[in-house]
Structure 1
Amino acid sequence: MLDTLWSLVVLFIPTLFWGLVFLISFRREPRQFRNAIWFALFVLTAVGTLTLLALSLSAPSEPVQVALLIALVVLAILAPAAVILFLLINAVIVIRREGLSPSTTLPGLLGLGLLAILVLDYLVLRGGTSRWLTYLMVLATLEMLWMVFTFAALLLYSTFYRMLPRKRRYDYIIIHGAGLQGERPTPLLQGRLDKAVQLWERQGRFGALIASGGKGDDEAISESEAMRRYLRDTHGVPDDAILTEDRSTTTFENLTFSKEIMDALSGTGRKAYRAALVTSDYHVFRACEYAHRIRLNADGVGSRTSGYYWPAAFIREFIAISRSHWWPYAVIALPVLIVALAR
């Protein structure tokens, strides 16, 4: 009995370790990218441990074990192909509906990039390639594995973060701009505005709505003015409940300039006021991470994004977040480059 109990404890040590690391980090500050890594490691080790436990308890016959092994091998082969095919198909759908632009081509570019790395792996493993091509394959494969892992980790954690209950009353509700069609908000921005009003009404119309967005070179009015008109004319929000921030052109500026308004009205300090950041669901985590950087006490609330557009939007978010956390890619590349140059 004691031997069995000790074996279970040893089996669960990795899961308990990563779970504890995640809980400590999450409790200190939930709006950090590192939480996505710890959470993913916790989930991976938990799934692996539970799978091993189930197999040991059920003691499957040898044919069943062989079938499971074959299924895992087939899954490992088909999964990359399925992901690449999905990305390429999604790129076609997004471009047809939204037009050709750098953001709409992202799923296709990612799919082609993954395909190129797999083809490079095949050519090198087949033999007959140069030494430098081998090093390139190793570097590209390692970087791809880290990218895929962090992409999945961010997707998993950002989904978990958005699902956390939000039962606070907010003094301010910041609405992030998302472009205009003429002088009206785009459908994406309308979704954010509708979500903000829903939150505002749910807390008894308490607090102020901050319409945050500047004026682009090709826009007749600022996003904040278009948002103010939409809130007033569509939802009947009174003008005295709407604040406008019309200088920002980026997410970081949305938060920085909105924080200046809130600080001027309610004072500075972590407990001076509480804010909600209303943006699209794919954008919530990055907005909250930026809020953490500028010491803004705020929660993220996401509006729904059309399913066909979600992959392209999330890939763009992942790229933006990865640019802020670039150093693991450098750490991965450094030993490969050192070995390549030393020979």
Structure 2
Amino acid sequence: MKMNPLGRTGMMVSEICLGTMTWGEQNTEAQAHEQMDYALTQGVNFFDAAEMYPTPPRAETQGRTEEIIGSWFRASGKRNDVILATKMVGDGIKWVRDGKGYTRSSVMDAVDGSLKRLGIDHIDLYQLHWPNRGSYHFRKHWAFDASTQDKAGTVGDIHETLEGLNDAVKAGKIRAVGLSNESAWGTMQFVRLAEAHGLPRVASIQNEYNLICRLFDTDLAEVAHHEDVGLLAFSPLAAGILTGKYQGDVTPEGSRRSLTPNLGGRWGPESEAATAAYLDVARKHGLDPAHMAIAFCLTRPFMTSAIIGATTMAQLETAIGSKEVKLSEAILEDIATARRAHPLPI
């Protein structure tokens, strides 16, 4: 398993990260433990969670994923073998800390809540799940309007959030900080304010990235290169779409689509057509489409780690197996051709 630097933290993380958002909803505790055991044997040392998980988010299950990870740490004794990332939600989920977004005090409250559920004394990478000011991610880019944001207030909000993260770092409760569902401008504000005021510098940004969602390729890729803020790509299979299992508008029993019919705005005629083009490329070159999709993510120069998720061990084995797949120039050229025919399907 290839290891990549996590920003400028000195930590090295596997290029494949084990995602956890199905644990406690689609996966039982025992199944989650089996996934973690297997991932470690394959060289995966990086797990990603969130205080709001599992998904779909519900008040009745919120925090269960972190509790399951904590029970595995206690049972396995392997806390020190894992770089653990988790996330704090921004404004908007009423049953998570009364819907409070990021303030100096709420950061510590959220960190303490996660530490209690996990049963550990520190978190390796603590991420902000989405900006207080809102985000263009999850298909909101179609109607995104930055002109509604408060210029002075937004910068002040970021500074206050960094102060809260700094409190947690000084207390030894988190080692490094990261962003999620952020923009190039937002990322640069976190970098600029951290450097100006001696506050924690962001190590990574966790945004969606896959063959049919490539918003990261331009401005954010430039930020990642110059500022050493690498991408942690979530949904490298576009919620399973790129495996081809939903083609023909089918919904396999127990699949994510059975819980979220439009797959977070990803599923539609355009994404089905684009997926058909990528399936043709995989078929032409004798590749498993899941292998090709994840391996493509791993070719990107800004990629720190691709976050995989699975509801079965067979899916997990396939996803992790992508680390052995190398894409030739001919395959990459065919992928580029398919992209030009379907430039923004979701």
Give the TM-score normalised by the residue count of structure 1.
0.28
User: Which has the larger strand fraction?
Assistant: 2
Give TM-score scaled by structure 2 length.
Answer: 0.28
Structure in which a larger fraction of residues adopt helix: 1
